[in-house]
Homo-oligomer: A and B are copies of this chain.
Amino acid sequence: MVASGEKKGKVILAYSGGLDTSCILLWLIEQGYEVVAYMADVGQEEDFEAARAKALKCGAVGFHLADLKREFVEELIYPAVQCNAIYENVYLLGTSLARPVIARGMIEAAVKEGCDYVSHGCTGKGNDQVRFELAFYGLAPNIKVIAPWRLPEFYERFAGRSALLEYAAKNGIPVTQTAAKPWSTDENLFHISYEAGILEDPNQTPPDDMWKLTTSPQKAPETPEQVHIEFSKGLPVKVTFPADKKEVTDAVDIFLTLNALARRHGVGRIDIVENRFIGVKSRGCYESPAATILRVAHMDLEGLTLDRNVRALRDQFITTQLSQILYNGFFFSPEREFVTAAIPASQKTVNGLVRLKLYKGNVIVEGRDADEGLYDAKFSSMDEMGGFEPTATSGFIEISSIRIKAWGRQNVKRGQGGVSPKDVYHRE
């Protein structure tokens, strides 16, 4: 253990058990802080007990492990499903959604432990530092943050991996000597992300063995599998497998069940160049299995059950805004509270069942059913009269065309339109 200098106070550190945060733990102690290590279980694959032992060996005065899986699913993931949250049309926000629950857990622990400081091992270029710190400040505006990778005294001292390894060794901390993968990952029950390393070349195809969660579509089963998902007020409440009548109804179980299903069938791989909040572009690969299925199913059911205008307004305002808010790390903010206030009003009628077929990377809608009554074949049928008089449509078109005719007449007057042999229409 390092010799600590003057006593500076108590820090809660987001600890992963890895080399970086172990060195940060040691370094914080060296700087004179008491350190409490904090780990959140958000569904990642991890040896939590080994991490606990390591933290304590490093000199942590406490270790907190919090199981946040249920609040992650219920408070963060499902509202995102309800409004089809997506960043830049592709990224399903798996990391962004986990950060608020972890930050909240840390602040809760900080209070219990009487910590004045929060620390983390995020780099100075990514989104996560912002997400964590804005969440800390939103929850505990007077908390002080120590971000070693943004402190010259830290990042200049530990400029490369070897410096970290040496520091750990010197302090008697064992480091797994597995060869580092040529990319970084972040995992939780929603997804895994891959970035940095060889992926920094956006033209580098991710190697097959990078993908950890999902089977490759090419290796997925030849036989499709069917699943039914039932929604209530836009939330998934039951998953049924018609093949064996298996039913799942618990919120977390539903998500994990769909994860397993999607993984089997090669569903949920994403490869994107995205725009970070700090204004740089970066390339990320993700696997978001269950989320991909839920997105398809929920949007499909909205087609059947959600009013057109509510859907359009929701898409344009809530979906876009909330996705940016989540991505940029403003979950604990007045604008997030404002934006989410309208979600329940948009989901009152989103009740019903979607039937899906999974096959080699595809999520195919086979049918949907609801008892909501916004869909009425009598009205839409091309084959029969019903619902309203066709003559009404004439009036509708006549009124709808008033503006258009006025504009058309202007164009004619300007020689840009009209039924004349010379200049019949306005071609730009």
**Chain A interface residues (CB < 8 Å from chain B):** 84, 88-90, 104, 107-108, 110-112, 123-126, 129-130, 133-134, 137-143, 147, 149-152, 155, 159, 184, 195-197, 200-205, 217-218, 224, 269, 271-276, 278-283, 299-300, 303-304, 307-317, 320-321, 324, 330, 332-335, 337-339, 341-342, 344-346, 349, 355, 359-362, 364-369, 372-377, 379-383, 385, 387-410, 412-413, 417-421, 424-428
Contacts and interface: CB of A to CB of B under 8 A. Distances in A.
A425 B278 contact: no
State the number of copies, please: 4
Contacts of A111: 419-421, 424
Contacts of A315: 88-89, 320
A358 B293 CA distance: 20
A107 to B, nearest CB: 6
Given A111-B424, A307-B334, A387 B273 contact: no
Contacts of A317: 313, 316-317, 321
B320 A335 contact: no
A304 B273 contact: yes
A325 to B, nearest CB: 9
Given A278-B393, A396-B399, A396-B400, A141 B418 contact: yes
A3 to B, nearest CB: 27
Which of A311, A316, A407 has the most C-beta atoms of chain B within 10 angstroms of its own C-beta? A407
B139 A408 contact: yes
Nearest to A182: B383
A348 to B, nearest CB: 8
Given A316-B320, A388-B399, A107 B303 contact: no
B402 A278 contact: yes
A196 to B, nearest CB: 4
Contacts of A380: 125, 200, 276, 280-283
A282 B313 CA distance: 20
Which of A104, A155, A271 has the most C-beta atoms of chain B within 10 angstroms of its own C-beta? A271
Nearest to A276: B380
A345 B338 contact: yes
30 contacts: A88-B303, A90-B300, A123-B390, A124-B391, A125-B393, A130-B393, A134-B401, A134-B404, A141-B418, A142-B418, A150-B394, A196-B382, A196-B383, A197-B383, A201-B377, A203-B367, A205-B355, A274-B303, A278-B396, A278-B402, A279-B399, A314-B338, A332-B425, A334-B407, A349-B410, A359-B360, A359-B361, A360-B361, A373-B409, A392-B399
A341 B332 contact: no
Contacts of A304: 202, 273, 281
Contact of A417 (B140, B303, B355): B140
A148 to B, nearest CB: 10
A303 B90 contact: yes
Given A134-B404, A409-B373, A335 B362 contact: no
Contacts of A367: 202-205
Contact of A419 (B107, B309, B401, B426): B107
Nearest to A345: B341
A351 to B, nearest CB: 11
Contact of A359 (B142, B217, B394, B399): B217
Given A124-B394, A130-B393, A395-B398, 8 more contacts: A151-B391, A197-B383, A200-B380, A217-B359, A279-B401, A281-B304, A281-B376, A282-B380
Given A218-B224, A271-B365, A399 B341 contact: no
